[in-house]
């Protein structure tokens, strides 16, 4: 009887806890600048033979035809891992050199869930847009992403965290940036898209990530 009561109370408190809506930070980049960006502090080195990178992005820039930087990881001398929306509307992944390009639906003012997977073994790279995977493309098998750099959102550094070009800057909103040093399955990425919050990123976990804001970027906390 005592045990049953305990179990029931435990059950109730669990339900109450799960009824509280989770909160999430969102980064608002309100205008074109050459000095506004957010540095993401990783939980461990970006020393990777494979990765999954996800984020939710909304921008009205894709109406035009300029480059838009979506993610930049730069070490002292190299652009280690950059993600672009190109001037011609395609999407590009660049791992230290020439990139691989994909034809995806345009970003727009509503939130798009964008993921990117790459594995060194076969060199398979693919985007996932709102839970749907693009074709896989073979890109840099055997390559490795090097540690020791910095990840920023909002600008493309042409040298180590300097030399930003406002015409490549991001305007709009970015949230829920997570990174894993392995490839998530299509089904897991679809689950993340519709709101599942597991598995948490082991390189970047947006729920606990430390953000260093520079310039004109607003950090909004919103209910999910």
CB 127 within 8 A of CB 105: no
58 or 209: CB nearest a second copy: 58
Among 44, 103, 167, 200, the residue binding a second copy under the rule CB under 8 A is: 103
Percent helix / strand / coil, the chain, rounded to 5: 15, 40, 45
Q: Distance (Å, rounded) from C-alpha 168 to C-alpha 36?
A: 12
Q: Interface with a second copy includes 6 (CB under 8 A)?
A: no
3-class SS at 51?
strand
Tokens found for residue 38: 């957010």
Q: Interface with a second copy includes 21 (CB under 8 A)?
A: yes
**What track of x and - describes contact with a second copy for positions 61 through 90 (by CB under 8 A)?**
--x---------------------------
Contacting range for a second copy; rule: CB under 8 A; set: 9-17, 80-88, 101-109, 206-214: 101-109
Enclosing H/E stretch for 7: helix 2-19
Instruction: Return phi, psi of residue 2, to 5°.
Output: -60, -40
What's the chain's length in residues?
A: 224
**CA geometry: angle at 159 spanning 155 and 164, to 5°?**
30
71 or 127: CB nearest a second copy: 127
9 or 122: CB nearest a second copy: 122
Contacts of 94 (CB under 8 A, 6+ apart): 79, 81, 82, 83, 84
User: Which residues, numbered 174-203, are part of the site for a second copy (CB under 8 A)?
Assistant: 185-187
**What track of x and - describes contact with a second copy for positions 119 through 138 (by CB under 8 A)?**
---x-x--x-x--xxxxxxx
Q: Interface with a second copy includes 167 (CB under 8 A)?
A: no
Output the smallest distance, CB 183 to a second copy, in A: 10
Output the smallest distance, CB 92 to a second copy, in A: 13
How many residues touch a second copy under the rule CB under 8 A: the total is 37
For a second copy, the binding residues (CB under 8 A) are 21, 26, 28, 30-31, 58-60, 63, 102-104, 108-111, 122, 124, 127, 129, 132-138, 172-173, 185-187, 218, 220, 222-224
């Amino acid at each position: 009887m005592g045990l049953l009561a305990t179990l029931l109370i435990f059950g109730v408190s669990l339900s109450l806890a799960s009824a509280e809506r989770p909160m999430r930070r969102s980064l608002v980049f309100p205008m074109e600048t050459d000095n506004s960006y957010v540095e993401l502090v990783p939980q461990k080195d970006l020393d990777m033979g494979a990765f999954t990178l996800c984020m939710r992005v909304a921008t009205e820039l894709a109406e035009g035809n300029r480059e838009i930087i979506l993610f930049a990881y730069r070490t002292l001398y190299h652009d280690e891992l950059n993600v672009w929306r190109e001037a011609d509307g395609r999407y590009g992944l660049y791992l230290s050199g020439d990139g691989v390009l994909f034809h995806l639906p345009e970003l727009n003012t509503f939130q798009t869930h964008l993921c990117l997977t790459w594995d060194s073994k076969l060199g398979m790279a693919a985007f996932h847009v709102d839970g749907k995977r693009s074709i896989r493309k073979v890109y840099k098998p055997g390559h490795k992403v090097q540690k020791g750099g910095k990840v920023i959102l909002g600008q493309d550094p042409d040298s180590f965290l300097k030399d930003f070009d406002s015409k490549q800057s991001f305007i709009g909103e970015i949230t829920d940036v997570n990174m894993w040093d392995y490839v998530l399955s299509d089904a897991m990425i679809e689950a993340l898209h519709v709101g599942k919050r597991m598995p948490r990123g082991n390189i970047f976990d947006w729920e606990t990530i430390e953000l260093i804001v520079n310039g004109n970027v607003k950090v909004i906390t919103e209910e999910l």
